[in-house]
Structure 1
Amino acid sequence: MKAIRFSLMSVLLVVLAAGCSPATVLPDQSQVTPSIDPAFLQSTPSTGPITMEMLKNGEYQAQNGMTLVRLMDGKYEAGSGSDYLSVSMQEQSAFGDLNADGVEDAAIILVENYGGTGQFEYLVPVFNSGVSLSPSSGYFLGDRVAVNSMSIADGRITLDMLVHAPNDGQCCPSQSMTQSFRFYWGPGLVMVHATSGTFTDTLREISIEAPTAGSEVTNQIQLKGRVTIAPFENTLLVRIMDVNNTSIYTGPIMVSAPDMGAPGTFDGLVDLSGSPASPGSIRIEVLEMSMADGSILTMDSVDVTLK
């Protein structure tokens, strides 16, 4: 059994993780917009499956939940000058059950513009009770990212997309990524898995092998897994979140690999005895951060129960 070792690079990784933008970092609880008011949700009736017509003419939150807008054929525009706001629904959408109630829900991309060149893109889940549609608050993806496709499977929304590499202009993202999200009541959408491409076409990915999803753990967690490409200085970031999506532990874990950039494994003990952890549901995340700009290159997570 290997113990976790600390290094200067580990400290840098922790600092980078704290300073990333909302587009690339799992949001802290303070960044999450509260779920939409139930009275508003009932204003978009549904008597069956969600249709594109319903989505293109639904009501949604904009400006971080400060404004409610109703789309007309997928578009909204109002105001002028500093009060200008346009919201448009992108072509990409996906359908599937997001909350395990047996009813098909949906996910869409909304783009907000305030009169400048910025095109601020949000991933928005839309829940279908069979009586009303309930769009929740959106997850900020970034300014002028390019979502190629999206799908829903096993309660997860997965995006195939291009994001900005460190030297990209805002107009032209070139870094290929997949990002997967799961909806948690309270925090909302949370990124739970991500991969990225490389110039050699090798997929950069982290896979947690232990503990397994749904298992029970103590405050001494043996964390094991694999990486397809060993990270810089063979160091990954571990973060553990409570049920409110608040971080209760942050620290490094070392990767063992035969060569620089080769596939590798990690096997370390995470000690929660000194953390503010309480018994209940927690989410264990393992991330590789870019040393160039602090963005997430790849990550995996698993939901477990702390005894």
Structure 2
Amino acid sequence: MNGKRNGRARGTWLITALALASVTVGCQDTGGGGGSANTKPGKPAASKSPGKGSGKESAKPSPTASKKPAKPGKGTSSGALTCDRLRNADLQTPTFRFPDAPTGTVAFTDGRWEGDGVVIELQPQCGIGDMTGDAAEDAVAAVKVTTGGTGKFWGLVTWRNDSGTPVPVAAASLGDRTPVVSIEAAAPVARQATVVYLTRGDSDPAAVVTLRRTAVYRVDEPTLTELHHTDAPYTP
């Protein structure tokens, strides 16, 4: 009898111990150390730093390049000087004097200026090339001054290229009734101009031309200095 009781007691104790162990394991699964299978994980906090197109905040825009155009330099294609630009250029300024013009400011309008009974006209003979040594192409052109009498005085003017704007800097007078035939700027040597014009000998009448002169000039502001010339007989 006692043996049977002891066996039943031991069985009851074993069943109780197994039940307690099962309860303990269940508590460990649902405690603070681990989450339940039914527990929803919390949403991660959104980043406050700007991203690259993701999230609610857009990325900061990168700095844009300046839209301000660069200024053209002297001698660039955008600052090219042409013979046609001389048709509305200054000829005589407060700081530059053209030898055969009356006093005061003189500026061409479509290649012509008129005042005080004097007419000044830009002539088609023109050359483009560096005459001042700044690597920009300047202009040398012929100018004719007609007075109230029979005089028709021819001259040469060099315009410096100031970013495409012609600025008169040097001139030479060729005399009365000495028409210019051609002008080559910066030829055959840089900073020199070769000019061909008609003239006469010292003993010839002023009303005729007897010589075809080829002269080479250099800019010595404010004058065009003749370096040398050659003459050939000319018959009209």
Is the TM value for this pair above 0.5?
A: yes
What is the aligned partner in structure 2 of residue 197 from structure 1? 232
Q: Provide the residue aligned with 2:144 in structure 1.
A: 111
Mind listing any 5+ residue stretches in structure 1 that lack a counterpart? 1-45, 200-307
Question: 1:137 deviation in Å?
Answer: 4.1
Change beyond 3 A, Cα 1:163–1:183: same
> C-alpha deviations, 1:166-218, integer Å up to 9, x for none?
45333321112111110124x5211112111259xxxxxxxxxxxxxxxxxxx
1:48 corresponds, among 60, 79, 92, to: 79
The C-alpha deviation readout for 1:59-100, integer Å capped at 9, x for no partner, is 11244572221212111112xxxx311100111000000012
Whole-Å Cα distance in 2 between the matches of residues 181 and 103 of structure 1? 18
- Residue of structure 2 in register with 1:188 after alignment: 223
CA–CA distance in structure 2, aligned partners of residues 127 and 137 of structure 1: 9
- Aligned pair 1:68/2:105, yes or no? yes
Structure having the higher helix fraction is 2
Q: Secondary structure at the match of 2:208?
A: coil
Decide which of 77, 94, 104 is 2:127's aligned counterpart.
94
CA deviation profile, 1:218-245 (whole Å, cap 9, x unmatched): xxxxxxxxxxxxxxxxxxxxxxxxxxxx
Give yes or no for contact 2:120–2:144 (8 Å, CA) kept in 1. Answer: yes
Deviation at 1:159, TM superposition (A): 0.8
**Correspondence for 2:204 among 164, 168, 178:** 168
Q: Deviations over 1:257-285 (max 9, x none)?
A: xxxxxxxxxxxxxxxxxxxxxxxxxxxxx
> What TM-score results when the alignment is normalised by the length of structure 2?
0.57
Aligned-partner Cα distance in 2 for 1:195–1:133: 30
Task: Count residues in correspondence.
Answer: 149
The reply on whether 1:120 has 2:157 as its aligned counterpart is no
Aligned to 1:84: 117
1:145 aligns with 2:181: no
How far apart are 1:47 and its partner, in Å? 5.4
Instruction: Give the match's secondary structure for 1:53.
Output: helix
Retained in 2: the 8 A contact 1:146–1:173? Answer: no
Aligned letter for 1:188? T
Contact kept? 2:178, 2:199, Cα under 8 Å: yes
Q: Which amino acid aligns with 1:179?
A: A
Query: Secondary structure of 1:103's partner?
Result: coil
Q: Which amino acid aligns with 2:151?
A: G
Bigger Rg, structure 1 or 2:
2
- Whole-Å separation in 1 of the counterparts to 2:145 and 2:225: 20
The answer to which structure has the higher strand fraction is: 1
Correspondence 1:1-307 to 2 at 5 A? 48-61=79-92, 62=98, 63=100, 66-78=103-115, 83-130=116-163, 132-152=165-185, 153=187, 154-185=190-221, 188-198=223-233
SS across alignment from 1:124? strand
Runs of at least 5 residues in structure 2 that lack an aligned partner in the other structure: 1-76, 93-97
Q: Percent of aligned pairs with the same residue? A: 30
Aligned residues: CA RMSD: 2.2
TM-superposed deviation, 1:128: 0.3
- Rounded to whole Å, the distance in 2 between the matches of 1:58 and 1:129 is 12
Aligned partners of 1:47, 1:68: CA distance in 2, in Å?
28
Contact 1:56 1:72 in 2 (8 A): yes
- Specify the SS of the correspondent of 2:215: strand
**Rounded Cα–Cα distance in structure 2 between residues aligned with 1:165 and 1:184:** 26
Q: Deviations over 1:125-172 (max 9, x none)?
A: 000021632112421111010211110121111111211124533332
TM-score, normalization by structure 1: 0.45
**Structure 2 counterpart of 1:36:** none
Q: Which amino acid aligns with 1:113?
A: T
SS in 2 for 1:138: strand
